[in-house]
Structure 1
Amino acid sequence: MTATATALAAPPDDTAAARGGRLRAALRSGRLRAGLGIVAVLALTAALGPLFLGDPDAVSQDLSQAPSAAHWLGTTQTGQDVFTQFVVAARGTLLIGATSALIATAVSAVVGIGGGFLGGLTDEALSLLSNIFLVIPGLPLVIVVAAYVGAGTGATILVIALTTWAASARVLRAQTLSLRTRDYVLAARLYGESRRRIVLVEILPNELAIIVSQFIFAVIFAVLTQAALAFLGLDDPSNLTWGTMLYFAQNADALTGGAWWWFIPPGLAIAVLGAALSLISFGLDEVLDPRLRARRRRP
């Protein structure tokens, strides 16, 4: 491709200096730093914490004990240490949330961008598939599929991922329909660029903000959905997550029995994780979205 065509094909803000400026702006974003800090602490806790703790299912003679120096978050009605369960459950929760979101985001990108770029019968077929998933209420669909497929970490991940991609695919399709008529995309077509290169180089980078935002909120939705499935008893109880902690606490009447240390930590952790991911999304939007960057630069 000639220099003129390259200049036409490249988005005006996609230069090394612009990318460096966006990186510096990201590092100055207080919301982004706060969100990343919280997620980093939770991720390190999930990755390294279980290596230094004992068996979360181990029982003791300390039954339904309040938090103390011996048991930082108290114990269950069978003497299990709640802090150990909480740390081990963090790994399962984050694994399900991140993996489900990654699969759902990948499917939505392929369906949305692929259909919007190719058009024709391919776009109509993929749009019909998306609409079918959209008209079915999300949580009931997850519950029905989970009850049919069965419990287990892998099954839970697939159920959540394959029932939550449609809305994101519709957003990406609409954006792709707009981008494929831009001057730099038309210039790339004119100079014989392959479809694959046009999608990967010209279109995909300009949808990065949307894809990242969708991934972040897909993680939040996956964590909440898994917690709902576990709380309803549709997930494998042996797969320890914050949701299964709430399930066991509810079955043991922890709320009516005043054992707040059993159900508040996992519930609060889910809320904090959702808030942290939202902060990351808002911070990244300011950096990746050209319209928000222009709005911030206005006096």
Structure 2
Amino acid sequence: MSSSPLRNGKVLFGVVVLAFFVLLAALGPWLLSLLGLDARANDVTAISAPPSAAHPLGTTQFGQDVLAQVIEGARGSMFVGFLGAAIGTAISILVGVPAGYFGGAVGNLLNFLTNLFLVMPVLPLIFVVAGYLQGTGLVMIAFIIGLFGWAGGARTLRAQAMSVRSRDFVQAMRMLGEPHRRLIFVEVLPHLYGWIASMFLGGLVGAVMAEAGLAFLGVSDSSAVSWGTMIQAAQQQSAVLRGLWWWFVPPGLCIALVGTAAALINFGVDELANPKLRAASRPVAKRVAARRAAVAAVPEGA
């Protein structure tokens, strides 16, 4: 089996889906202009209209085009997802890697900070802080999510950094007088890239879902359009009870697809970083066929 995870159909599907939503978020304004759509425009002639040629994904109770809101919402949700994941991953690296590499008083202090955030009720804290800072925009929402979501990743990186620090080549470089800065960035950190990529993808999904949860509870930025605010508006207007499925299904499906895509890519990253997983990922049928062929090749009575 090839060592490239893109050879795996599931991973390739995840990459394609995630790339699609990234492009949708980046090119959203241009696409809306090209299609002549406006996420905030009200069409009084089409109130709660089902999907049609004029409105491919239907309209909301306020006459707003659902397709336009999905495109506009991709920009808000993916922005929060990537920024929140980037902030959380950066803090995890800054705290976890030095804690594992240095040990001693520095490691104990950073480990205490990590444990402090680990025992905090993160989700309620996010809701409380986001509610207190309500209306501050998606940047602040992403910052809050990243600020409270780094501790688990830091704990993992600390353990991995401690393992790499004890290896012979790192010890030899330290005995030769190599500076700590070079050892961390050149010798230790490259061995953690797989873990960091996995953490970032997990943080991306977590941030998108956290933003949707905040919006659903009404503590997100009400002026911004995201998949979460779409679901929240649909819930407020009883779209489920009224059968307006085209209002809440598209944003929910987009969130589910982003989560699925990130999970599939994560499997590929794990497979690439861990040779044991690469060996274990071969189809069972191939292994069974190989064993049967080996048994058949043994002469009778041997």
TM-score scaled by structure 2?
0.88
> In 2, distance between residues paired with 1:277 and 1:268?
14
Q: In structure 2, what is the Cα distance between the partners aligned to 1:127 and 1:149?
A: 29
1:207 to 192, 201, 206: 192
Amino acid in the other structure paired with 2:10:
R
2:100 corresponds, among 110, 116, 119, to 116
**C-alpha deviation, 1:269, in angstroms:** 0.7
What amino acid maps onto 2:175 in structure 1? L
1:27 deviation in Å?
Answer: 2.8
Deviation at 1:116, TM superposition (A): 1.1
Matching of residue 60 in structure 1 with residue 43 in structure 2: yes
Aligned to 1:288: 273
Cα offsets for 1:116-163 (capped at 9, x unmatched): 111111111111111111112221111112122333112101100000
User: Which of residues 247, 262, 282 is equivalent to 2:247?
Assistant: 262
Q: Deviations over 1:196-238 (max 9, x none)?
A: 1111111111111111101100001001100000000000111
Higher mean displacement: 257-266 or 138-147: 138-147
Q: How far apart, CA to CA, are the structure 1 residues paired with 2:267 and 2:121? A: 27
Runs of 4+ in 1 over 6 A off after TM superposition: none
Contact 2:88 2:147 in 1 (8 A): yes
Q: CA deviation at 1:293?
A: 3.4
Distance 1:168 1:51 in 2: 36
Mapped partners of 2:175, 2:278: distance in 1: 31
Counterpart of 1:188? 173
Question: Quick one: distance in 1 between partners of 2:184 and 2:270?
Answer: 22
DSSP-derived class of the 1:255 partner: helix
In structure 2, C-alpha distance between the alignment counterparts of 1:237 and 1:82, rounded to whole Å? 17
Gaps of 5+ in 1: 1-20
Deviation at 1:182, TM superposition (A): 0.4
Could you list the per-position Cα deviations for residues 165-190 of structure 1 after superposition, in whole angstroms to 9, with x for gaps in the alignment? 00110011111111111001001111
Change (3 A) 1:295 1:189: farther
Question: Within 2, Cα distance between the matches of 1:148 and 1:132?
Answer: 22
Is the 2:6–2:268 contact (alpha carbons within 8 Å) kept by the matching residues of 1? Answer: no
Larger radius of gyration: 2
**1:10-159 to 2 correspondences below 5 Å:** 22=3, 25-53=4-32, 54-61=37-44, 62-151=46-135, 152-159=137-144
Q: Give the letter for the 2:59 counterpart.
A: T
Query: For residue 241 of structure 1, what is the amino acid of its counterpart?
Result: S
Q: In 2, Cα distance between the equivalents of 1:186 and 1:292?
A: 28
Does structure 1 residue 253 correspond to structure 2 residue 232? no
For residues 220-275 of structure 1, the C-alpha deviation after alignment (integer angstroms, 9 at most, x for no partner) is 10011000000000001111100000011111111111100000000111011100
C-alpha offsets along residues 12-71 of structure 1, whole Å, 9 cap, x if unaligned? xxxxxxxxx74xx22312222110011111112222233132321100121000000000
In structure 2, distance between residues paired with 1:276 and 1:156: 23
Give the paired residue count.
277
Q: 1:67 to 1:296 in 2, by over 3 A?
A: closer
Identity across the alignment (%):
47
SS at match of 1:51: helix
AA aligned opposite 1:101: A
Q: Distance in 1 between matches of 2:281 and 2:179?
A: 37
Q: What residue in structure 2 maps to residue 176 of structure 1?
A: 161
Code of the aligned partner of 2:258: L
Counterpart of 2:217, as a letter, is: L
TM-score scaled by structure 1? 0.89
Paired with 1:264 and 1:295, the residues of 2 have a C-alpha distance of 36
Amino acid corresponding to residue 290 of structure 1 in structure 2: P
RMSD: 1.5
Amino acid at match of 2:31: F
